[in-house]
Amino acid sequence: MDEEPAEPYRIKVIEPIRLLDREERKNRIKEAHYNVFNLKSEDVYIDLLTDSGTSAMSDTQWAAMMSGDEAYAGSGSFYRFTKAVQDVLGYRYLIPTHQGRAAENVLIGNLVKKGDIVPFNMPFDTTSNHIRVNGGQPVECALDVAYEPQQVHPFKGNVDIDKLEDLVKKVGVGRIPFVMVTITNNTGGGQPVSMENLREVRMMTSRYGIPLYLDAARCVENSYFVHRRENGYENKTLAEITLETFSYADGCTFSAKKDPMANIGGFIALNDEKTYHELLPRLVTYEGFTTYGGLAGRDLECLAQSLYEMTDERYVANRIRQVEYLGKLIESRGIKIVKPVGGHAVFVDVAAFLPHLPQSQFPADALAAELYAESGVRGVGLGALAFSRLDEETGEQVFPKLELLRLAIPRRVYTDRHMDAVADGLGRVYERRKEIRGLKIVYEPPLLRHFLARLERV
Ligand code: F0G
């Protein structure tokens, strides 16, 4: 087949956006207390806050919504969704939820108890919160290289098998309800996990009798990297690679707002009948009856279609190409980014961008505010504001190892011209980086301050 020089789709519906004047943008970010979560969408020109729930659905996804079965129990859409999960992921049982974190609530709320340890490559923040809320503790077992933004590694999301095994030996199997691998590793820069690594994790956890789950929101982007970078997978389809990926785990939690390109939705999928039945009462309590779990019939129907669509080779290749395109543009301006570029976002290395700001002044969020004021582009800081914690023993702030600005690209939404504008805006901020001041907190809630904090310039 000839390589296609442009997007493998055309645009049928558009939504106008506009760039506010510079003075207005400065006012808006000040009124938003320098927290981009407080900006109104209509004031944002190019929105790279997240790739979650923000993708453009296809005509077939929209068409599926019209044939949703809205029955409270036994909806036909649920059975079609179940069939898609069986075909695409290879799991027997489906537990639908309203989004990924709701799937985490059902799984973790059932399986994690006080004093438990859950090993990860790296957990996403809602996942760690669910574990902590249930009295457990998530532990990162990522490769050392995962914490070095500029070090290139083809599978920077891999689990460090030695760290994992040492942890299992240290705390004992009885305290580990399951191991979870995030594919791709969002917290570490959208980095993939190799098939070989997954097989090794499977072998090790099987030896100890510990269940293995995937946090699979971006599993197809992961499959694409396996296809491109791992020996033996060059000639396999993304559908084949995806099916093999899931075959190594007992089940998964899945935010359908990412790779499946739905605006809402999530689920747990698994093979073990006993665990499935154990999870259902919590599903009914927090989400809804077993055959809809917090979603409308139209969403279930749409998700069935989405699962088949997400492994489309031509779309995924073009998607990753665009993320890499933005990465190259940014790097060409001398700006340091997490390398290699991940699947869903370009992560700017803010420690290198603003070396004069200590982490106590939230450099990643200061840069996010500055980028908005400069160009109307909304990215998100993922650093000290999001991930610092008080050490329970010493009472001191523990800062995260990475201080990043994430520019997450919604799927099928923006053109390369938008990416040019993003890189230009960031480039202009880079030229005057020495003048950028840090931020201080004027209000923070006891939990999840990243979303709710109010800040002002130092
Ligand atoms: N797991 C990963 C790896 C995620 O990135 C997210 C969400 C979730 C779980 C939770 O899923 O949002 O459907 O409840 N990530 C979004 C982001 C919010 O912007 O990265 P959810």
- For the CA of 408, the closest atom of ligand 1 is 19
Provide the CATH topology of domain 22-51+312-457. Answer: Aspartate Aminotransferase, domain 1 (3.90.1150)
Q: How far is the CA of 21 from the centre of ligand 1 (A)?
A: 32
Q: What is the pLDDT of residue 1?
A: 58
- 125 an active-site residue? yes
Known catalytic residue at 124: yes
What is the rounded distance in angstroms from the CA atom of residue 323 to the CA atom of residue 224?
13
Residue 216 appears among annotated catalytic residues: no
Angstrom distance (rounded) from CA 248 to CA 162: 19
Residues with Cβ within 8 Å of residue 245, at least 6 apart in sequence: 183, 195, 198, 214, 219, 222, 223, 226
Measured in Å, residue 95 CA sits from the centre of ligand 1 at 17
Catalytic residue among 156, 258, 344, 418: 258
314-361: per-residue pLDDT in tens? Answer: 999 999 999 999 999 999 999 999 999 999 999 999 999 999 999 999
Among protein residues, the one whose CA lies closest to atom 18 of ligand 1: 52
301: its two tokens: 């129907």
Q: How far apart are CA 264 and CA 98, in angstroms?
A: 7
Separation between Cα atoms, residue 278 and residue 357, nearest integer Å: 49
DSSP notation for 227-268: HHHSTT-TTS-HHHHHHHHHHTSSEEEEETTSTT--SS-EEE
Expressed in angstroms and rounded, the spacing between residue 2 Cα and the centre of ligand 1 is 35
Confidence at 390, pLDDT banded by 50, 70, 90: confident
pLDDT tens for each residue of 168-181? 999 999 999 999 99
Q: What separation in Å is there between the alpha carbon of 424 and the centre of ligand 1? A: 28
109 Cβ closer than 6 Å to some ligand 1 atom:
no
Does 121 contact ligand 1 (Cβ within 6 A)?
no
Q: How, if at all, do strands 454-457 and 439-443 pair? A: antiparallel
- Whether the CB-CB separation of 357 and 363 falls below 8 Å is answered with yes
Q: Confirm whether 453 is a catalytic residue.
A: no
Question: For 272-317, how does the pLDDT look when each residue is reduced to its tens digit (9 = 90+)?
Answer: 999 999 999 999 999 999 999 999 999 999 999 999 999 999 999 9
- Atom 16, ligand 1: which residue's CA is nearest? 52
Active-site residue flag, 72:
yes
Q: What DSSP line would sit under 366-387, residue for residue?
A: HHHHHHHHHHSEE-EEESHHHH
Cβ–Cβ under 8 Å, residues 323 and 346:
yes
Q: Does the CB atom of residue 215 touch ligand 1 within 6 A?
A: yes
Q: What is the pLDDT of residue 3?
A: 73
Cα(50) to ligand 1 centroid in Å equals: 9
Cβ of 187 below 6 Å from ligand 1: no
* Known catalytic membership, residue 130: no
In angstroms, how far is the first alpha carbon of the chain from the final one? 56
Cα(216) to ligand 1 centroid in Å equals 10
The predicted pLDDT at position 4 comes to 80
The correct CATH number of 59-309 out of 3.30.565.10, 3.40.50.970, 3.40.50.720, 3.40.640.10 is: 3.40.640.10
Q: How is residue 308 written in tokens?
A: 């088949």
Cβ(344) – ligand 1 distance below 6 Å: no
Q: What is the pLDDT of residues 184-212, one digit of tens each?
A: 999 999 999 999 999 999 999 999 999 99
Whole-prediction pTM value? 0.96
User: Is there an atom of ligand 1 within 6 Å of 217 CB?
Assistant: yes
Is 100 close to ligand 1, i.e. is its CB under 6 Å away?
yes
Q: Where are the domains of the chain?
A: 22-51+312-457, 59-309
Mean pLDDT (the chain) is 96
Contact 262, 53 (CB under 8 A): yes
| Catalytic-residue membership of 258 | yes
Ligand 1 binding pocket includes 55 (Cβ within 6 Å): no
Per-residue pLDDT tens digits for 12-69: 999 999 999 999 999 999 999 999 999 999 999 999 999 999 999 999 999 999 999 9
130 close to ligand 1 (CB < 6 Angstrom): no
